[in-house]
Amino acid sequence: MHSEFEPLMETQNSVRALLIKGDNEVKILGESNMRRHILLILFMASVVAGLQAQTFMALCPTKQEVECKQLRGRKSVEIVKFTGTDCLGDLSIPAVIVYDGKTYPVTSIGKEAFFRGCYGLRSIHIPETITSIGKYAFYNFDSLVTISVDKRNRVYDSRENCNAVILSKTNELVLGCQGTVIPKTVKSIGESAFASCSHLTEISIPNSVKSIGSGAFFRCYSLTSMDIPNSVTCIGDIAFYYCYSLASVSISGSVKSIGRDVFHFCDSLAYIHVDTDNPVYDSRDSCNAIILSKTNKLIVGCQNTVIPNTVTSIGDGAFYHCVGLTSINIPNSVTSIGADAFNHCVNLTSVNIPNSVTSIGSGAFHLCKSLTSINIAEDHPVFEIKEEGETLKIIDKRTGRIVVVP
């Protein structure tokens, strides 16, 4: 272990000493040894101070004020954050910044650097010096239509005037906007690439794309439809979360993995189709849902879903915030209803719980404020319905526990 140094004050005599506390011993050093240790400490402190980043303010060529810091051990700077009140029009990231008579290349745009205050931004230009762009560096850009990267940049590009930022080495699109046209050479759409692009109404994903990252289209409020091409194998968590206007989704035969909560808060979702050649998922009987074929679990539903009588379970959050759903018939094949399965289905007025259902997860009908009719047979082996005023409760007969209170 490292030793811990502390000065020892002597009031009874003039002997100055230093305690060194190790694992199992305490030594008192004489003055000469003490001086050496103090000099060592001072030297180490000066080294640490020299390595600490300088922070200073600077102006972009387009006059936006930003906070910068010198990167440790390097003669370059990172843009930490935008410090103005509003960033309108065009944003050109500087290639170099002059501070205190010294010129520093700008090589990094930090995490959440332009996260706040840039809602009116319409264009972004990335210079050749940038080699790193942090997570959520450009976010909440409702009006962004143009993105360009200097052609001399060795890490990123905006090939074919695509209005996007692409990692050149991996062909991953890391930042898009409402003006993006995804090139056919892109292999993946990165995490949060189009997040909060609220004016994006449509986007064509080419057959070269193999994966759609987590939150890729998060809060794309105006996106109306999505066709997943026959090259995509993976759709990440919350990829289309809060896409309020998304009305139709087509899943190709190549998709092997769909993450958590992918279509939550897709209030307008009415049509779901899975290609018949998909070996993992299906939408049998034109049911307008996504079903795990191997387990017969319905994992994503919508306002027009008709649950097939071959489905054995309704997955966690399957109909979460499906505000267009007014009624649902659960067939006798279903044995379990997952947690939050119908959570926030605020316009759901009636539901039936067949005798086959023996498990209802936590929050399955939470905040179903319009639910006035719950049909459970008197001879149901597990559940019964009780009315308390205007409140309906589903009770587990075996334990007396309240299972559902809408």
Q: Which token pair is 248? A: 């139709």
Q: Tally the domains of the chain.
A: 2
Domain extent, residue 25, equals 4-50
Q: Which amino acid is located at 88 in the chain?
A: L
CA–CA separation, 74 vs 88, rounded Å? Answer: 32
Question: Would 302 be classed as within a structural domain?
Answer: yes
CB 380 within 8 A of CB 403: no
Residue 378 exposed, middle or buried by CB count within 10 Å (0-12, 13-18, 19+):
exposed
161-174 pLDDT, tens digit per residue, is: 999 999 999 999 99
CB 218 within 8 A of CB 239: yes
Q: How many CA atoms lie within 13 A of 17 on its CB side?
A: 15
| Percent of the chain scoring above 90 in pLDDT | 70
CA–CA separation, 184 vs 163, rounded Å? Answer: 14
Question: Would 83 be classed as within a structural domain?
Answer: no
The secondary structure of 52-121 as a DSSP string is: SPPEEEEE-TTS-EEEEEEPTTSS-EEEEEE-SS---EEEE--SEEEETTEEEEEEEE-TTTBSSS-TTE
Confidence tier at 26 by pLDDT (50, 70, 90)? very low
Question: Would 346 be classed as within a structural domain?
Answer: yes
The secondary structure of 137-184 as a DSSP string is: SB---TT--EEEE-TT-SSEE-GGG-SSEEETTTTEEEE--TT----T
Q: Which token pair is 201? A: 């109404």
Question: Would 104 be classed as within a structural domain?
Answer: no
Question: Would 181 be classed as within a structural domain?
Answer: no
Question: Would 359 be classed as within a structural domain?
Answer: yes
Question: Would 291 be classed as within a structural domain?
Answer: yes
CA–CA separation, 98 vs 116, rounded Å? Answer: 25
104-121 pLDDT, tens digit per residue, is: 999 999 999 988 767 788
pLDDT value at 239 more than 70: yes
Question: Would 356 be classed as within a structural domain?
Answer: yes
CA–CA separation, 333 vs 28, rounded Å? Answer: 80
pTM (predicted TM-score): 0.84
CA–CA separation, 225 vs 214, rounded Å? Answer: 18
Confidence tier at 338 by pLDDT (50, 70, 90)? very high
SS3 47: helix
* CATH code where residue 405 lies: 3.80.10
255-292 pLDDT, tens digit per residue, is: 999 999 999 999 999 999 999 999 999 999 999 999 99
- Rounded to the nearest integer, the mean pLDDT of the chain is 87
